[in-house]
Amino acid sequence: MTPFLFLFVALATASPMRRQTMGGLDADGDGLVSKDEVFAAMSLHEALVALDRDGDGFIYLAQIIELWGVGDQFYLLNTDGDDHLTFREIENGMTLSTFYDQFDFNMDGTLDVAEAYQLNFIYDVINDPTLDDPLDSNGDGRLSRLEVLSHMNYDEVLMALDTDGDQRLTPAELMVLMGSETTEFMNDQDNNDDGFVTYDEAKSHRMSLGRIFDRLDQDDSNYLENGEGAGFYTVYVTIAAANASN
């Protein structure tokens, strides 16, 4: 597998780990990303190439879940019933407009900061795919626990996910990393059942970055592969940008 080409993008931040603006996708600076702004910035094919981190031409179930929280679209688009989607299957089954709609969780016709998180990542990769994968240190196309833990710590991850900087995480914010594990994580860590996970709650019950790695390792292979580690790449963009701004 060819190494994924990755972007250290200089995102505007008001605090070390907080993304305040939409970056290049938010062309009119209103804090929202519209369909027209996405249409002007990318094609569906370009988005798929950006998501294909290992360069094998396939998108896996775990990646679909990381994008949208559920795997429904994987099964709808998977016409041949195998373990992956080809670009052709996706492009035959959806347009860039319907791709955008999957991120619009509140169905208001625009994307706020949390909803646009993944599309901003895609935009960043499309516009500067020049750097080798900084997480997959040995280039084997999968992430080990050591590779993840050597590039980030749990506090950095929590702050990167916290798009509005209120020190508590919503299901939408957590979904960027946790994907299909979001509901279980909320059930385990939301100790007061208020619908949010504070930083302190996120660390309760001995939860750690290593344990999150284990949850995402759905096949218990001790590696994140076939899209299982997709969320870590998205989070790393924010961490790298924050470090670059310091």
Global model pTM greater than 0.85: no
Q: How far is CA 123 from the centre of its chain?
A: 12
Residue 197 phi/psi, 5° resolution?
-120, 110
pLDDT in tens, the chain (246 residues): 333 323 323 232 233 333 344 567 999 999 999 999 999 999 999 999 888 866 778 898 878 887 887 889 999 999 999 989 999 999 999 999 999 999 999 999 999 988 888 898 888 878 865 545 678 866 778 898 888 988 889 999 999 999 899 999 999 999 999 988 999 999 999 999 999 999 999 999 999 999 999 999 999 999 998 888 888 988 988 888 887 776
**pLDDT score, position 243:** 77
**Can you tell me which residue has the tokens 């309760």?**
204
For 66-90, letters b (16+ CB in 10 Å) and e give bbbbebebbeebbeeeeebbbbebb
Number of domains in the chain: 1
Q: How far is CA 55 from CA 4, 52, 73, 165, 231, in A?
A: 7, 5, 21, 34, 17
Q: What is the pLDDT of residue 151?
A: 86
Task: Give the integer Cα–Cα distance in Å for 239 and 216.
Answer: 19
- Distance between CA atoms of 115 and 113, rounded to whole angstroms? 6
* Residue numbers of the domain that contains 180: 5-245
**CA pair distance 133, 131, nearest whole angstrom:** 7
